[in-house]
Structure 1
Amino acid sequence: MYILELNHITKKFISVKALDRVKLNLKKGEIVAVCGENGAGKSTLMKIISGSDPFGGYEGQILMDGEEKRFHSTRDAEKSGIEMIYQEISLHLDLSVAENLFMGKLLRGRFGTINWKKMNADAKEALALVGLEQIEPTQKVKTLSTSQQQLLSIARAILKNPRVLVLDEPTSALTQSETEKLLGLLKGLREKGVSCLYISHKLKEVFEIADRITVLRDGKYISTYDTREATSEKLIEDMVGRKINVMYPKVCCATEEELLRVEDLCVPHPYMKDKNIVDHVSFTLHKGEVLGLAGLVGAGRSELMDALFKVTAEGVTGKVFLAGKPVTAETPKQMKAAGMGYITEDRKKNGYIGSASIMENTTLASLDQISNGKVLNARKERLLAQQYSDLLAIKAPGIDTHVVNLSGGNQQKVILAKWMMTNLRVLLLDEPTRGIDVGAKAEIYKLINNMAQKGIGILMASSEMPELIAMCDRFLVLSEGKIRAEFTKSEVSQEKIMAAATVVH
């Protein structure tokens, strides 16, 4: 008997079917991976299972141990032993780690007072389960990195002793070592009889962790495989409905012409006095080159990019040269005018305006091109936005569609279009394919390659080693804010990068 069984699940949003008679089942002590492109219906299905569908209402049947269930809230699902870990982290940032772990179930002592000593001790044990031994239970959650917050969310779910654990892209913000710890933890839970539904775009993880793999496409059930019988090629074909012949369309376009030079760059640590999070970093980027920036969380990759684009300016020292000329810009707007663009790791936070249209987001950095003084040329704006939407093959009903309604891959294309429309010479890419499905990834890689062919220099940070090694011409490895190693394309390997990133100095 299945512990969880879904039959003919159908979900409509007005006239659009997000799910169309989807089926899925899960045995006790089994991990089933759910794969598909963004927009395939994976997250919608998981929200129905976990009782967190904000709109409610679906057709079909959910069975737990053969008994029909209908979850109207997350509390209903929790009573049946279902816990969900969302891709979007939902923690109370101004509360402590322990308070977040025991939210709604604070441990009480005599006279109803909170037993802080017991709660902090239990929190310490829970943190150790997910590799966060270095975190204190009394720390405010806002002091944790994104990856630490994700691991904290996982610890909170495990504390509730679930029978079914639903994980939506749980490793999107984790490093390789943190991912390995999480996968090891899930394997341990499986041995204890806990069942898992595991959503991920990372097929390497899927093949390592899953017993079976179910594929959805366009809201429909497509296939289920025993992992031992599946291949990545067949899964991708099922997910996108076509064969992807070349995942990484890399062509070397690097020249000897220097485009960007950084000398002795230092960025002060935001929390630790007298310590630099970027510490005396120097490097060059050449015209048409894709320069890879590797390192673990906390190594200083994002902080380096923030400093280059002047997102962070206070206390930053060092020299930056563009095309041989010293950069005097002091703001992101001035850096954009100098020919630099920046796509951050968190596109929802500072990559686009969700309530604005594709057209408005695409032209956001180029208003000087489509205005005459203070008057916007609406016709020119529409023509340019449509041109870039067609060029990048953005999938949407039209350029008036709000960006928040697009898939992750198409949102990233809109952000790329925004910068391509400017006088771009250097592009900073921080985790450019995070949370993007395999089909969209291949398209993003092609766009990166096309930009390099046009002579644009690209500095690219990524936690996905195969992606970084395949797409970059040269590699810098950061550890504790310093460049610890540099590799050419012919020298590089995942083992060499990890050795340089993890060595104790």
Structure 2
Amino acid sequence: MQSSDRSVPDTPVLQMSGIAKRFGGIRALKGVDLEVRAGEVMALLGENGAGKSTLMNILAGVLPPDAGRIEVGGEERRFASPSDAQAAGVAMIHQELDLVPGASVTDNLFLGAEKRRLGLLDRRGMERETKELLAEVGIRISPSRHVGTMRVGEQQMVAIAKALRLDARILVMDEPTSALSETEVTRLFEIIPGLRRRGVAVVFISHRMDEIAQIADRGTVMRDGENAGTFDVVTTRPAEVIRMMIGKPLDQVYPDRAEPEADVRLRLRGLRLDGGVDISRSEPNGIDLEVRRGEVLGLAGLLGAGRSELLEAVFGLGGGRLRGDVELDGEPVRIRSPRDAMAHGIGFVPEDRRAAGLNMHATVGANIAISVLERLATLGWRSRSKERRAVTRAIEALRIKTGSQDTIVRTLSGGNQQKVVFGRNMLREPRVLLLDEPTRGVDVGAKSEIYRLLAELSADDVSVVMASSELPELIGACDRIAVLREGRVVEVVAARAATEESLLAAAGMEHREPARVGAGGAEQSGAGGAERAGPKGAGERATTNDRDETGETQ
């Protein structure tokens, strides 16, 4: 990935051998091996469902293995509970933090291990130690503050402080940056060198190749419950890592697509939102744009350029504020609401699928069918049989991995949740599909499936407009790319002629290489990471790797 003079310790602190686990008829783990050294950051990669979390839950004592051996510090261990694992020096920071929101920071850090003095609770001593631990992780908050009043990033630091209090020799971080801002990610990564110096072994689960390039020493890839390979971060090309993850060469991530038709499907002229003198600079402000039939048009731009706002305006979320001309297949249309947009054959997949795209407590079938209930009704009466047949077709066409259409959607992986949102739109047979960050938060295998879907939509003459902060994705998945700046289109280029540098320059920002946090905490430049101030800017991370070398990143 990138060169570095860092030295990696040779002493294994953790060895997991032949770990197997079955859930009913499903073999989740098929004899997995994992070795991590003291003071090392080991990245654990794989698609959703590859078995990463199952393996780590076994290590943390949450699940018992069906077979295999675990050694910590050269001694075989069997963990019947998380407390057993913690006693052996294993701490895990789950993606859903296991802190008590209604309790103070001190109470969370000492929960179940309270200090006592002369038989009484030593509140002063616990608060003093809490302050020391919080200072060590670089966060300044009151020990008496309730965790529920804190930002996610602050809660993450409290969870790390709790692991340090347990004197953990092995610290597992499961997608620790998924809900953090840029500043909070930087703070988290600044803690890593200190953990190294203490000899703590860190297992870092992440989908983000830029993060792995920045902090990890080695990586272990899992695929379908098995080891797919272990690699050295410094010397291994990301393309090879992705091949291990998805089981196929990188050049197959972006499928070939047919050349789009010359006919214009969607034409925007002078599109803007009427907001008076207080209009936001990110809102459409005189957008002229054409999308051809069967074309995938990408939207690039920095944070605040207006990509999401443009998609929302075309979908009618601007309401009566929308001004300008909108034409579909040469016919003028009036769009003042999402209902208008859908009636004209425009679909929308929002950026935040959990908050705006899905009912997380409903079934897969209910989420897919809800947009076409009136079409599937018989004489005004709801037809359950028609709904189930339609949902079955969508599940099969999109290859949604679910036990049944009655599965609650929140139990699916991020990639399959996104496919459910696609399925809802596909049942309406749209002419235009608007996508806002369609691959955010999904693994590389699910991304490959989404790119396949885009190619199939193109072949069916559906026009796609896709906003993405991942420049390699726009270059690889689109026919043309429109660059936005302050609510206006400043350039439209053929994707095959675009480079990340040219897109960033058009967006108003020069490309620069990222810094890597080495073993001693010093920054080192390299080519394997991502531009931290990339297309989304502060607070949101985006990749800017060279597509010829890395192709798809996340």
Class of the TM-score when normalised by the shorter of the 2 chains? 0.7 to 0.9
C-alpha distance 317-243 of structure 1, shift in aligned 2 (>3 A): closer
Query: CA offset at residue 419 of structure 1?
Result: 0.7
Q: Which amino acid aligns with 1:20?
A: K
Match among 199, 213, 223 for residue 217 of structure 1: 223
Match among 30, 34, 56 for residue 44 of structure 2: 34
Match among 286, 305, 328 for residue 291 of structure 2: 286
TM-score normalised to the size of structure 2?
0.69
Q: Which residue of 2 aligns with 1:271?
A: none
Q: Which residue of 1 aligns with 2:202?
A: 196
1:45 and 2:50 correspond: no
1:432·1:462 contact (CA, 8 Å) conserved in 2?
yes
C-alpha distance 140-224 of structure 1, shift in aligned 2 (>3 A): closer
Match among 470, 474, 483 for residue 476 of structure 1: 483
Match among 454, 464, 467 for residue 461 of structure 1: 467
Q: Which amino acid aligns with 1:441?
A: K
| Matches for 1:56-455 after TM superposition, within 5 Å | 59-71=67-79, 74=82, 76-88=84-96, 103-104=108-109, 149=152, 151-160=153-162, 161=164, 162-172=168-178, 186=192, 189-190=195-196, 193-228=199-234, 230-243=236-249, 245-249=251-255, 251=257, 253=260, 255=262, 257=264, 259=266, 261=268, 263-265=271-273, 276=280, 278-283=282-287, 284-287=289-292, 288-294=294-300, 301-302=307-308, 305-306=311-312, 308-309=314-315, 321-323=326-328, 325-330=332-337, 332-354=338-360, 356-396=362-402, 399=405, 401-455=407-461
1:433·1:444 contact (CA, 8 Å) conserved in 2?
yes
Q: Which deviates more, 35-44 or 294-303?
A: 294-303
Q: Which deviates more, 441-450 or 274-283?
A: 274-283
Q: Which amino acid aligns with 2:230?
A: T
Unaligned runs of 5+ residues in structure 2 are 1-10, 116-121, 511-534, 539-554
C-alpha distance 286-242 of structure 1, shift in aligned 2 (>3 A): closer
C-alpha distance 119-219 of structure 1, shift in aligned 2 (>3 A): closer
CA distance in 2, matches of 1:277, 1:382: 45
Q: Which amino acid aligns with 1:493?
A: E
Q: Which amino acid aligns with 2:500?
A: S
CA distance in 2, matches of 1:71, 1:199: 21
2:317·2:336 contact (CA, 8 Å) conserved in 1?
no
Query: CA offset at residue 444 of structure 1?
Result: 0.8
CA distances 1:258-289 after superposition (whole Å, capped 9, x unpaired): 61537233789xxxxx7848445443351344
CA distance in 2, matches of 1:322, 1:94: 53
Q: Which amino acid aligns with 2:449?
A: E
Query: CA offset at residue 180 of structure 1?
Result: 6.9
CA distances 1:289-317 after superposition (whole Å, capped 9, x unpaired): 4343445667665565455545676x966
C-alpha distance 303-77 of structure 1, shift in aligned 2 (>3 A): farther
Q: Which amino acid aligns with 1:430?
A: D
C-alpha distance 169-14 of structure 1, shift in aligned 2 (>3 A): same
RMSD: 4.6
CA distance in 1, matches of 2:325, 2:90: 52
Query: CA offset at residue 103 of structure 1?
Result: 4.2
CA distance in 2, matches of 1:184, 1:440: 31
Which secondary structure state, in structure 2, belongs to the residue aligned with residue 159 of structure 1? Answer: helix
1:175·1:296 contact (CA, 8 Å) conserved in 2?
no
CA distance in 1, matches of 2:61, 2:327: 52
CA distance in 2, matches of 1:114, 1:388: 59
CA distance in 2, matches of 1:103, 1:502: 34
Which secondary structure state, in structure 2, belongs to the residue aligned with residue 372 of structure 1? Answer: coil
CA distances 1:182-239 after superposition (whole Å, capped 9, x unpaired): 5565456435533221223344543454322222222223432334564445444443
C-alpha distance 15-292 of structure 1, shift in aligned 2 (>3 A): same
2:134·2:158 contact (CA, 8 Å) conserved in 1?
no
2:482·2:489 contact (CA, 8 Å) conserved in 1?
no
1:3 and 2:13 correspond: yes
CA distance in 2, matches of 1:493, 1:502: 14
CA distance in 2, matches of 1:317, 1:188: 53
CA distance in 2, matches of 1:94, 1:431: 34
Q: Which deviates more, 43-52 or 243-252?
A: 243-252
CA distances 1:85-122 after superposition (whole Å, capped 9, x unpaired): 44446778899xxx6698446999xx969999999999
Query: CA offset at residue 26 of structure 1?
Result: 0.8
C-alpha distance 7-124 of structure 1, shift in aligned 2 (>3 A): closer
CA distance in 2, matches of 1:294, 1:142: 36
Q: Which residue of 1 aligns with 2:530?
A: none
C-alpha distance 437-254 of structure 1, shift in aligned 2 (>3 A): farther
Query: CA offset at residue 20 of structure 1?
Result: 2.7
Which secondary structure state, in structure 1, belongs to the residue aligned with residue 348 of structure 2? Answer: strand
TM-score normalised to the size of structure 1?
0.75
C-alpha distance 454-470 of structure 1, shift in aligned 2 (>3 A): same
CA distance in 2, matches of 1:475, 1:152: 37
1:214·1:223 contact (CA, 8 Å) conserved in 2?
yes
CA distances 1:15-67 after superposition (whole Å, capped 9, x unpaired): 322223322121111121222222111112222333455xx665443332223
CA distances 1:367-402 after superposition (whole Å, capped 9, x unpaired): 122112432334433433333333333344555555
2:157·2:188 contact (CA, 8 Å) conserved in 1?
no
C-alpha distance 217-209 of structure 1, shift in aligned 2 (>3 A): same
CA distances 1:397-436 after superposition (whole Å, capped 9, x unpaired): 5555554454433332232122111141332222222332
> What count of residue pairs does the alignment treat as equivalent?
478
Query: CA offset at residue 78 of structure 1?
Result: 4.5
Which secondary structure state, in structure 1, belongs to the residue aligned with residue 419 of structure 2? Answer: helix
